[in-house]
Chain A
Amino acid sequence: MTAENVLSTALIPLLMTGALVYFAVRILVFGDISSIRRENSRKKLKDEKSYAQAAGRLMLFLACVSGLMIPLIFVNVYVALGEAVLGIAIFGVLWRRMDSRYGE
Protein backbone atom coordinates (compact mmCIF):
# COMPACT_ATOMS: atom_id res chain seq x y z
CA MET A 1 0.00 0.00 0.00
CA THR A 2 1.61 3.23 -1.15
CA ALA A 3 1.13 6.71 0.29
CA GLU A 4 -0.54 7.72 -2.96
CA ASN A 5 -3.00 4.85 -2.58
CA VAL A 6 -3.79 5.87 1.00
CA LEU A 7 -4.28 9.50 -0.04
CA SER A 8 -6.50 8.70 -3.02
CA THR A 9 -8.77 6.42 -0.96
CA ALA A 10 -8.76 8.05 2.47
CA LEU A 11 -8.14 11.72 1.67
CA ILE A 12 -11.62 12.83 2.78
CA PRO A 13 -11.52 11.24 6.27
CA LEU A 14 -7.90 12.39 6.65
CA LEU A 15 -8.84 15.99 5.85
CA MET A 16 -11.86 15.83 8.14
CA THR A 17 -9.82 14.40 11.02
CA GLY A 18 -7.18 17.10 10.61
CA ALA A 19 -9.74 19.92 10.45
CA LEU A 20 -11.68 18.63 13.46
CA VAL A 21 -8.56 18.21 15.61
CA TYR A 22 -7.52 21.77 14.70
CA PHE A 23 -10.88 23.26 15.68
CA ALA A 24 -11.17 21.08 18.80
CA VAL A 25 -7.76 22.25 20.04
CA ARG A 26 -8.66 25.86 19.23
CA ILE A 27 -11.85 25.58 21.24
CA LEU A 28 -10.45 23.52 24.13
CA VAL A 29 -7.14 25.35 24.60
CA PHE A 30 -8.03 28.91 23.64
CA GLY A 31 -11.75 28.80 24.37
CA ASP A 32 -12.35 30.41 20.96
CA ILE A 33 -15.91 29.48 20.04
CA SER A 34 -16.23 31.99 17.17
CA SER A 35 -15.74 29.15 14.67
CA ILE A 36 -18.85 27.33 15.87
CA ARG A 37 -21.12 30.24 16.81
CA ARG A 38 -21.98 33.47 15.06
CA GLU A 39 -22.15 36.66 17.08
CA ASN A 40 -25.84 37.14 16.38
CA SER A 41 -26.68 33.48 15.77
CA ARG A 42 -28.84 32.64 18.73
CA LYS A 43 -29.52 33.67 22.27
CA LYS A 44 -26.61 34.23 24.63
CA LEU A 45 -24.81 31.23 26.04
CA LYS A 46 -25.66 30.15 29.57
CA ASP A 47 -22.09 29.21 30.37
CA GLU A 48 -19.50 30.03 27.72
CA LYS A 49 -16.57 28.21 29.37
CA SER A 50 -18.47 24.96 29.88
CA TYR A 51 -19.90 25.25 26.37
CA ALA A 52 -16.39 25.56 24.90
CA GLN A 53 -15.11 22.59 26.91
CA ALA A 54 -18.04 20.36 25.97
CA ALA A 55 -18.01 21.43 22.30
CA GLY A 56 -14.24 20.84 22.08
CA ARG A 57 -14.58 17.37 23.57
CA LEU A 58 -17.40 16.51 21.17
CA MET A 59 -15.32 17.68 18.25
CA LEU A 60 -12.48 15.48 19.41
CA PHE A 61 -14.96 12.60 19.56
CA LEU A 62 -15.97 13.28 15.95
CA ALA A 63 -12.30 13.51 14.97
CA CYS A 64 -11.80 10.04 16.51
CA VAL A 65 -14.81 8.71 14.56
CA SER A 66 -13.32 10.13 11.38
CA GLY A 67 -9.81 8.92 12.24
CA LEU A 68 -11.08 5.39 12.87
CA MET A 69 -12.71 5.42 9.46
CA ILE A 70 -9.28 5.73 7.77
CA PRO A 71 -7.98 2.21 8.57
CA LEU A 72 -11.48 0.74 8.36
CA ILE A 73 -11.85 1.88 4.72
CA PHE A 74 -8.98 -0.47 3.81
CA VAL A 75 -10.40 -3.35 5.85
CA ASN A 76 -14.09 -3.16 4.96
CA VAL A 77 -15.86 -0.16 3.43
CA TYR A 78 -19.26 -1.23 4.80
CA VAL A 79 -17.92 -1.33 8.36
CA ALA A 80 -16.21 2.05 7.81
CA LEU A 81 -19.45 3.63 6.58
CA GLY A 82 -21.47 2.05 9.40
CA GLU A 83 -18.99 3.35 11.96
CA ALA A 84 -19.12 6.85 10.46
CA VAL A 85 -22.93 6.97 10.30
CA LEU A 86 -23.29 5.71 13.86
CA GLY A 87 -20.60 8.04 15.19
CA ILE A 88 -22.06 11.08 13.45
CA ALA A 89 -25.59 10.25 14.68
CA ILE A 90 -24.32 9.93 18.27
CA PHE A 91 -22.40 13.19 17.83
CA GLY A 92 -25.55 14.97 16.61
CA VAL A 93 -27.61 13.83 19.60
CA LEU A 94 -24.82 14.70 22.07
CA TRP A 95 -24.36 18.11 20.45
CA ARG A 96 -28.06 18.87 20.78
CA ARG A 97 -27.94 17.88 24.44
CA MET A 98 -24.82 19.97 25.01
CA ASP A 99 -26.34 22.96 23.22
CA SER A 100 -29.53 22.86 25.27
CA ARG A 101 -27.51 22.48 28.50
CA TYR A 102 -24.90 25.21 28.02
CA GLY A 103 -26.12 27.05 24.94
CA GLU A 104 -29.56 28.60 24.99
Chain B
Amino acid sequence: MFRRGGSRRANRRMEDNIIMKAKKFNLKDFLINNGVIIIMIILVIYTGISSPNFLKPTNLMNILLNMSSRLVIALGIAGCIITAGCDLSAGRMIGLGGCIAGTLLQRMDYSKKFFPDMKPWNIFLALLVVMLICGLFGAISGLFIAYLHVPPFISTMAMMEIVYGINLIYTNATPLGGYVESYTNLATGRFLGLNYLIWIALIMAAITWFIFNMTRHGKYMYAIGANPQAAEVAGVPVKTTLVLIYMKAAMFYGLAGFMLGAKAAGASVNLGLSYEMEAIAACTIGGVSVSGGRGKVSSAFIGVAVFELLKMALQFLGVNANAQYIALGVIIFIAISLDIRKYIARK
Protein backbone atom coordinates (compact mmCIF):
# COMPACT_ATOMS: atom_id res chain seq x y z
CA MET B 1 0.00 0.00 0.00
CA PHE B 2 2.81 2.41 0.85
CA ARG B 3 5.66 3.18 -1.54
CA ARG B 4 8.70 1.15 -0.67
CA GLY B 5 11.12 3.66 -1.93
CA GLY B 6 9.25 6.71 -0.61
CA SER B 7 10.44 8.75 2.33
CA ARG B 8 9.13 8.11 5.79
CA ARG B 9 7.46 11.54 5.85
CA ALA B 10 5.52 10.81 2.64
CA ASN B 11 4.34 7.54 4.02
CA ARG B 12 3.24 9.22 7.25
CA ARG B 13 1.32 11.86 5.24
CA MET B 14 -0.39 9.12 3.27
CA GLU B 15 -1.30 7.29 6.48
CA ASP B 16 -2.72 10.52 8.00
CA ASN B 17 -4.84 11.09 4.89
CA ILE B 18 -6.31 7.62 5.18
CA ILE B 19 -7.14 8.15 8.86
CA MET B 20 -8.67 11.56 8.11
CA LYS B 21 -10.80 10.06 5.36
CA ALA B 22 -11.97 7.30 7.70
CA LYS B 23 -12.77 9.73 10.45
CA LYS B 24 -14.52 12.23 8.18
CA PHE B 25 -17.94 12.99 9.54
CA ASN B 26 -20.67 11.72 7.28
CA LEU B 27 -23.96 13.48 8.05
CA LYS B 28 -26.03 11.05 5.99
CA ASP B 29 -24.65 8.02 7.85
CA PHE B 30 -25.06 9.79 11.18
CA LEU B 31 -28.72 10.58 10.43
CA ILE B 32 -29.46 7.06 9.25
CA ASN B 33 -27.64 5.34 12.12
CA ASN B 34 -29.22 7.53 14.80
CA GLY B 35 -32.50 8.15 12.98
CA VAL B 36 -34.72 6.51 15.58
CA ILE B 37 -33.19 8.47 18.46
CA ILE B 38 -33.37 11.76 16.54
CA ILE B 39 -37.03 11.24 15.60
CA MET B 40 -37.85 10.38 19.20
CA ILE B 41 -36.06 13.46 20.54
CA ILE B 42 -38.06 15.62 18.09
CA LEU B 43 -41.25 13.88 19.24
CA VAL B 44 -40.36 14.50 22.90
CA ILE B 45 -39.64 18.20 22.22
CA TYR B 46 -42.92 18.52 20.32
CA THR B 47 -44.83 16.82 23.16
CA GLY B 48 -43.10 19.07 25.70
CA ILE B 49 -44.22 22.18 23.76
CA SER B 50 -47.76 20.99 23.06
CA SER B 51 -48.46 19.73 26.60
CA PRO B 52 -46.41 21.56 29.25
CA ASN B 53 -47.16 18.93 31.93
CA PHE B 54 -44.94 16.51 30.04
CA LEU B 55 -41.71 18.20 31.13
CA LYS B 56 -42.80 18.85 34.74
CA PRO B 57 -40.49 17.34 37.39
CA THR B 58 -43.22 15.01 38.71
CA ASN B 59 -43.72 13.53 35.24
CA LEU B 60 -39.98 13.23 34.64
CA MET B 61 -39.67 11.44 37.99
CA ASN B 62 -42.48 9.16 36.90
CA ILE B 63 -40.60 8.36 33.69
CA LEU B 64 -37.46 7.60 35.72
CA LEU B 65 -39.48 5.30 37.97
CA ASN B 66 -40.89 3.46 34.94
CA MET B 67 -37.39 3.24 33.53
CA SER B 68 -35.89 1.67 36.67
CA SER B 69 -37.18 -1.88 36.29
CA ARG B 70 -36.92 -1.73 32.48
CA LEU B 71 -33.27 -0.73 32.76
CA VAL B 72 -32.50 -3.72 34.99
CA ILE B 73 -34.13 -6.04 32.42
CA ALA B 74 -32.29 -4.35 29.54
CA LEU B 75 -28.95 -4.64 31.37
CA GLY B 76 -29.51 -8.36 31.78
CA ILE B 77 -30.58 -8.91 28.21
CA ALA B 78 -27.75 -6.69 26.86
CA GLY B 79 -25.21 -9.28 28.03
CA CYS B 80 -27.02 -11.98 26.04
CA ILE B 81 -27.31 -9.77 22.94
CA ILE B 82 -23.61 -8.87 23.06
CA THR B 83 -22.85 -12.58 22.64
CA ALA B 84 -25.21 -12.54 19.60
CA GLY B 85 -27.84 -14.35 21.59
CA CYS B 86 -31.16 -13.30 23.04
CA ASP B 87 -33.31 -14.19 26.01
CA LEU B 88 -37.00 -14.66 25.40
CA SER B 89 -37.59 -16.04 28.90
CA ALA B 90 -37.06 -12.64 30.52
CA GLY B 91 -40.77 -11.80 30.81
CA ARG B 92 -41.66 -15.11 32.46
CA MET B 93 -38.68 -14.87 34.84
CA ILE B 94 -39.95 -11.44 35.85
CA GLY B 95 -43.37 -12.98 36.49
CA LEU B 96 -41.82 -15.79 38.53
CA GLY B 97 -39.63 -13.36 40.51
CA GLY B 98 -42.58 -11.09 41.25
CA CYS B 99 -44.78 -14.01 42.34
CA ILE B 100 -42.15 -15.65 44.58
CA ALA B 101 -41.43 -12.30 46.24
CA GLY B 102 -45.17 -11.71 46.59
CA THR B 103 -45.83 -15.01 48.35
CA LEU B 104 -42.94 -14.46 50.78
CA LEU B 105 -43.78 -10.86 51.64
CA GLN B 106 -47.52 -10.85 52.38
CA ARG B 107 -48.92 -9.35 55.58
CA MET B 108 -50.09 -11.73 58.31
CA ASP B 109 -53.53 -10.06 58.44
CA TYR B 110 -54.16 -10.35 54.69
CA SER B 111 -57.25 -12.51 54.18
CA LYS B 112 -56.02 -14.19 50.98
CA LYS B 113 -52.51 -14.87 52.26
CA PHE B 114 -50.80 -17.51 50.13
CA PHE B 115 -49.00 -19.21 53.03
CA PRO B 116 -51.39 -18.40 55.91
CA ASP B 117 -49.11 -19.52 58.75
CA MET B 118 -45.82 -18.20 57.42
CA LYS B 119 -44.43 -14.94 58.77
CA PRO B 120 -43.33 -12.43 56.11
CA TRP B 121 -39.65 -12.76 55.28
CA ASN B 122 -36.98 -10.13 55.48
CA ILE B 123 -37.09 -8.33 52.11
CA PHE B 124 -33.37 -8.81 51.46
CA LEU B 125 -33.64 -12.54 52.13
CA ALA B 126 -36.69 -12.74 49.85
CA LEU B 127 -34.79 -10.85 47.14
CA LEU B 128 -31.84 -13.23 47.49
CA VAL B 129 -34.11 -16.27 47.14
CA VAL B 130 -35.84 -14.74 44.10
CA MET B 131 -32.52 -13.99 42.40
CA LEU B 132 -31.10 -17.44 43.17
CA ILE B 133 -34.15 -19.27 41.82
CA CYS B 134 -34.24 -17.18 38.64
CA GLY B 135 -30.46 -17.55 38.33
CA LEU B 136 -30.84 -21.33 38.45
CA PHE B 137 -33.28 -21.29 35.52
CA GLY B 138 -30.99 -18.91 33.63
CA ALA B 139 -28.07 -21.27 34.19
CA ILE B 140 -30.13 -24.15 32.75
CA SER B 141 -30.85 -22.03 29.64
CA GLY B 142 -27.13 -21.27 29.41
CA LEU B 143 -26.27 -24.97 29.69
CA PHE B 144 -28.63 -25.76 26.81
CA ILE B 145 -27.00 -23.06 24.69
CA ALA B 146 -23.39 -23.75 25.59
CA TYR B 147 -23.26 -27.52 25.93
CA LEU B 148 -26.13 -28.76 23.73
CA HIS B 149 -25.58 -26.06 21.06
CA VAL B 150 -29.29 -25.25 21.02
CA PRO B 151 -29.81 -21.79 19.45
CA PRO B 152 -30.46 -19.16 22.17
CA PHE B 153 -33.89 -18.20 20.91
CA ILE B 154 -35.13 -21.81 21.06
CA SER B 155 -33.64 -22.67 24.44
CA THR B 156 -34.86 -19.47 26.10
CA MET B 157 -38.27 -19.89 24.49
CA ALA B 158 -38.41 -23.40 25.92
CA MET B 159 -37.35 -22.05 29.30
CA MET B 160 -40.09 -19.43 29.02
CA GLU B 161 -42.65 -22.24 28.75
CA ILE B 162 -41.21 -24.21 31.65
CA VAL B 163 -41.01 -21.16 33.92
CA TYR B 164 -44.58 -20.21 32.99
CA GLY B 165 -45.77 -23.72 33.89
CA ILE B 166 -43.90 -23.64 37.20
CA ASN B 167 -45.37 -20.23 38.00
CA LEU B 168 -48.89 -21.47 37.18
CA ILE B 169 -48.43 -24.40 39.53
CA TYR B 170 -46.79 -22.30 42.25
CA THR B 171 -49.40 -19.54 42.36
CA ASN B 172 -52.37 -21.59 41.12
CA ALA B 173 -52.92 -18.65 38.74
CA THR B 174 -54.20 -16.49 41.62
CA PRO B 175 -53.23 -12.80 41.79
CA LEU B 176 -51.15 -11.83 44.81
CA GLY B 177 -51.41 -8.76 47.01
CA GLY B 178 -51.41 -7.54 50.63
CA TYR B 179 -47.67 -6.96 50.84
CA VAL B 180 -45.79 -5.84 53.95
CA GLU B 181 -45.02 -2.15 54.22
CA SER B 182 -41.26 -2.64 54.06
CA TYR B 183 -41.71 -4.12 50.57
CA THR B 184 -44.11 -1.54 49.13
CA ASN B 185 -41.97 1.22 50.67
CA LEU B 186 -39.35 0.34 48.05
CA ALA B 187 -41.59 1.98 45.46
CA THR B 188 -42.64 4.95 47.58
CA GLY B 189 -39.60 5.74 49.74
CA ARG B 190 -36.94 8.21 48.66
CA PHE B 191 -33.25 8.81 49.27
CA LEU B 192 -31.67 12.12 48.20
CA GLY B 193 -34.87 12.96 46.31
CA LEU B 194 -34.77 9.82 44.20
CA ASN B 195 -37.01 6.82 44.59
CA TYR B 196 -35.39 3.64 45.98
CA LEU B 197 -36.22 1.78 42.76
CA ILE B 198 -34.25 4.36 40.77
CA TRP B 199 -31.31 3.90 43.13
CA ILE B 200 -31.48 0.11 42.69
CA ALA B 201 -31.42 0.56 38.91
CA LEU B 202 -28.45 2.93 39.14
CA ILE B 203 -26.54 0.52 41.38
CA MET B 204 -27.24 -2.35 38.97
CA ALA B 205 -26.06 -0.17 36.07
CA ALA B 206 -22.82 0.55 37.95
CA ILE B 207 -22.30 -3.15 38.73
CA THR B 208 -22.98 -4.06 35.09
CA TRP B 209 -20.59 -1.37 33.86
CA PHE B 210 -17.92 -2.84 36.15
CA ILE B 211 -18.58 -6.39 34.89
CA PHE B 212 -18.58 -5.32 31.22
CA ASN B 213 -15.47 -3.12 31.38
CA MET B 214 -13.32 -4.15 34.31
CA THR B 215 -13.53 -7.91 34.50
CA ARG B 216 -12.15 -10.75 32.46
CA HIS B 217 -15.70 -12.08 32.14
CA GLY B 218 -16.71 -8.87 30.37
CA LYS B 219 -13.83 -9.12 27.90
CA TYR B 220 -14.72 -12.75 27.20
CA MET B 221 -18.31 -11.71 26.56
CA TYR B 222 -17.31 -9.23 23.84
CA ALA B 223 -14.85 -11.72 22.35
CA ILE B 224 -17.56 -14.39 22.08
CA GLY B 225 -19.96 -11.90 20.51
CA ALA B 226 -17.44 -10.76 17.91
CA ASN B 227 -16.28 -14.23 16.90
CA PRO B 228 -16.92 -17.28 19.09
CA GLN B 229 -14.66 -19.50 17.04
CA ALA B 230 -11.73 -17.12 17.38
CA ALA B 231 -12.49 -16.66 21.08
CA GLU B 232 -12.39 -20.41 21.63
CA VAL B 233 -9.06 -20.67 19.82
CA ALA B 234 -7.72 -17.80 21.93
CA GLY B 235 -8.47 -19.78 25.09
CA VAL B 236 -11.70 -18.07 26.17
CA PRO B 237 -13.85 -20.46 28.24
CA VAL B 238 -16.82 -19.95 25.90
CA LYS B 239 -19.16 -22.46 27.52
CA THR B 240 -18.67 -21.31 31.10
CA THR B 241 -18.94 -17.66 30.07
CA LEU B 242 -22.22 -18.30 28.23
CA VAL B 243 -23.71 -20.10 31.23
CA LEU B 244 -22.65 -17.24 33.52
CA ILE B 245 -24.11 -14.62 31.16
CA TYR B 246 -27.54 -16.26 31.03
CA MET B 247 -27.46 -16.91 34.78
CA LYS B 248 -26.58 -13.29 35.53
CA ALA B 249 -29.29 -12.07 33.14
CA ALA B 250 -31.90 -14.25 34.85
CA MET B 251 -30.86 -12.90 38.26
CA PHE B 252 -31.44 -9.41 36.88
CA TYR B 253 -34.91 -10.42 35.68
CA GLY B 254 -35.66 -11.77 39.15
CA LEU B 255 -34.66 -8.42 40.62
CA ALA B 256 -36.80 -6.60 38.05
CA GLY B 257 -39.78 -8.80 39.00
CA PHE B 258 -39.15 -7.98 42.66
CA MET B 259 -39.09 -4.25 41.81
CA LEU B 260 -42.24 -4.43 39.66
CA GLY B 261 -44.06 -6.32 42.42
CA ALA B 262 -43.17 -3.57 44.90
CA LYS B 263 -44.27 -0.87 42.45
CA ALA B 264 -47.62 -2.49 41.63
CA ALA B 265 -48.11 -3.79 45.21
CA GLY B 266 -49.22 -7.02 43.58
CA ALA B 267 -48.24 -9.70 41.10
CA SER B 268 -49.70 -12.41 38.90
CA VAL B 269 -48.37 -15.01 36.47
CA ASN B 270 -48.77 -12.48 33.67
CA LEU B 271 -46.49 -9.90 35.29
CA GLY B 272 -43.83 -8.83 32.79
CA LEU B 273 -45.59 -10.19 29.72
CA SER B 274 -43.68 -9.17 26.55
CA TYR B 275 -41.15 -7.11 28.53
CA GLU B 276 -38.36 -9.09 26.87
CA MET B 277 -39.35 -7.67 23.47
CA GLU B 278 -39.28 -4.13 24.81
CA ALA B 279 -35.90 -4.75 26.44
CA ILE B 280 -34.42 -6.20 23.24
CA ALA B 281 -35.83 -3.25 21.29
CA ALA B 282 -34.48 -0.76 23.83
CA CYS B 283 -31.01 -2.32 23.64
CA THR B 284 -31.08 -2.23 19.84
CA ILE B 285 -32.26 1.39 19.74
CA GLY B 286 -29.46 2.32 22.18
CA GLY B 287 -26.78 0.64 20.10
CA VAL B 288 -26.33 -2.90 21.41
CA SER B 289 -25.82 -4.79 18.19
CA VAL B 290 -27.98 -7.87 17.61
CA SER B 291 -25.13 -9.24 15.49
CA GLY B 292 -22.98 -9.39 18.63
CA GLY B 293 -19.74 -7.99 20.00
CA ARG B 294 -20.94 -4.41 20.46
CA GLY B 295 -22.85 -2.66 23.22
CA LYS B 296 -22.37 -0.71 26.40
CA VAL B 297 -24.28 -0.01 29.58
CA SER B 298 -24.96 3.49 28.25
CA SER B 299 -26.52 1.91 25.13
CA ALA B 300 -29.06 0.07 27.28
CA PHE B 301 -29.69 3.23 29.31
CA ILE B 302 -30.25 5.40 26.22
CA GLY B 303 -32.49 2.78 24.64
CA VAL B 304 -34.66 2.40 27.72
CA ALA B 305 -34.87 6.18 28.18
CA VAL B 306 -35.87 6.76 24.57
CA PHE B 307 -38.42 3.95 24.69
CA GLU B 308 -40.04 5.17 27.93
CA LEU B 309 -40.06 8.78 26.74
CA LEU B 310 -41.75 7.66 23.53
CA LYS B 311 -44.41 5.71 25.41
CA MET B 312 -45.11 8.65 27.70
CA ALA B 313 -45.12 11.11 24.77
CA LEU B 314 -47.66 8.98 22.89
CA GLN B 315 -49.87 8.94 25.99
CA PHE B 316 -49.62 12.71 26.35
CA LEU B 317 -50.45 13.17 22.66
CA GLY B 318 -53.61 11.18 23.24
CA VAL B 319 -52.69 8.37 20.85
CA ASN B 320 -55.03 5.39 21.08
CA ALA B 321 -53.66 2.62 23.34
CA ASN B 322 -53.81 0.05 20.54
CA ALA B 323 -52.17 2.42 18.09
CA GLN B 324 -49.32 2.83 20.60
CA TYR B 325 -48.47 -0.84 20.13
CA ILE B 326 -48.29 -0.29 16.37
CA ALA B 327 -46.01 2.74 16.86
CA LEU B 328 -43.72 0.77 19.19
CA GLY B 329 -43.67 -2.15 16.73
CA VAL B 330 -42.68 0.17 13.89
CA ILE B 331 -39.90 1.65 16.03
CA ILE B 332 -38.57 -1.83 16.87
CA PHE B 333 -38.67 -2.83 13.20
CA ILE B 334 -36.83 0.32 12.07
CA ALA B 335 -34.24 0.05 14.87
CA ILE B 336 -33.39 -3.56 14.04
CA SER B 337 -33.29 -2.83 10.30
CA LEU B 338 -30.86 0.05 10.90
CA ASP B 339 -28.75 -2.18 13.14
CA ILE B 340 -28.52 -4.81 10.40
CA ARG B 341 -27.61 -2.03 7.92
CA LYS B 342 -24.76 -0.97 10.23
CA TYR B 343 -23.60 -4.60 10.48
CA ILE B 344 -23.58 -5.01 6.69
CA ALA B 345 -21.75 -1.68 6.25
CA ARG B 346 -19.13 -2.78 8.79
CA LYS B 347 -18.61 -6.06 6.95
Residues of A within 8 A of B155 (CB): 92
- Known contacts A38-B84, A40-B227, A62-B158: A96-B165 contact under CB 8 Å: no
- A41-B165 contact in complex given A92-B150, A103-B149, C-beta closer than 8 Å: no
Per-residue A-contact encoding for B124-157, CB less than 8 Å = 1, 0 else: 0000000000000000000010011111011101
Q: Could you tell me if B154 and A12 are in contact, using CB atoms closer than 8 angstroms?
A: no
Return chain B residues, CB-CB under 8 Å to A95: 148-150
Question: Which bucket holds chain B's interface residue count?
Answer: 20 to 34
- Binding-face segment, B15-23, B166-174, B246-254, B329-337: B166-174
- Shortest CB-to-CB span from A21 to chain B, Å, is 13
Residues 41 to 56 of chain A near chain B (Cβ within 8 Å): 41-43
What is the size, in residues, of chain A's interface with B at 8 Å between Cβ atoms? 35
Judge whether B292 is part of the interface by a CB distance below 8 angstroms: yes
B 236-288 contacts with A by CB, 8 A: 270, 273
Q: What chain B residues lie within 8 Å of A81 (beta carbons)?
A: 162, 165-166, 168-169
Please tell me if B51 contacts chain A, counting CB pairs below 8 Å. Answer: no
Q: Which residue of B lies closest to A42 (CB)?
A: B229
Residue on A nearest B268 in the bound complex, by CB = A8
Chain B residues within an 8 Å CB radius of A91 = 150, 158
How far, in angstroms, from A32 to B292 measured CA to CA in the complex?
20
Question: B105 → chain A, closest Cβ, in Å?
Answer: 24
A5 CB to nearest B CB, Å? 11
Contact with A along B60-82 (1 / 0, CB 8 A): 00000000000000000000000
Query: Could you tell me the distance between the alpha carbons of A10 and B291 in the complex, rounded to whole angstroms?
Result: 32
Determine whether the beta carbon of B169 is less than 8 Å from that of A88: no
Task: Specify which chain B residues have a CB less than 8 angstroms from the CB of A36 in the assembled complex.
Answer: 151, 154
Inter-chain CA distance A9–B270, complex, in Å, is 9
Main secondary structure of the interface of A (DSSP, over half): helix
- Binding site secondary structure of chain B: helix
- Cβ contact within 8 Å between A40 and B229: yes
Q: Which residue of A lies closest to B91 (CB)?
A: A12
Also in contact, A84 and B168, with CB within 8 A (given A12-B92, A96-B148, A99-B149): no
Chain B residues with Cβ under 8 A from A93's Cβ? 148
Q: Is B228 an interface residue (CB 8 A)?
A: yes
Residue A64 is within 8 A (CB to CB) of chain B in the complex: no
Q: Is the beta-carbon distance between B148 and A92 smaller than 8 angstroms?
A: yes
- Nearest residue, chain B, Cβ from A41: B228
Is A80 part of the contact surface with B, judged by Cβ < 8 Å? yes
Residues of A within 8 A of B173 (CB): 9
Q: B12: shortest Cβ distance to chain A, in Å? A: 34
Q: Is residue B160 within 8 Å, beta carbon to beta carbon, of the partner chain? A: yes
A28 within 8 A of B: no
* Docked complex Cα distance between A6 and B162 (Å): 18
Cβ B228 vs Cβ A40 within 8 A: yes
Q: Which 8 A-B pairs have the closest CB atoms?
A: A81-B165, A96-B148, A99-B149, A88-B158, A36-B151, A12-B164, A92-B148, A95-B150
A-B contact pairs, 13 of them (CB 8 A): A20-B154, A35-B151, A37-B151, A38-B84, A41-B84, A42-B149, A77-B169, A81-B169, A92-B144, A92-B150, A95-B148, A96-B147, A96-B148
Please give the residue numbers on chain B whose beta carbons come within 8 Å of chain A beta carbons, in ascending order: 84, 92, 144, 147-151, 153-155, 157-158, 160-162, 164-166, 168-169, 173, 227-229, 270, 273, 291-292
Besides A40-B227, A41-B228, A77-B169, 20 other CB < 8 A contacts?
A11-B273, A20-B154, A35-B153, A36-B154, A37-B151, A38-B292, A42-B149, A42-B229, A62-B154, A77-B165, A81-B162, A81-B165, A84-B158, A84-B165, A85-B162, A88-B161, A95-B148, A96-B147, A96-B150, A103-B149
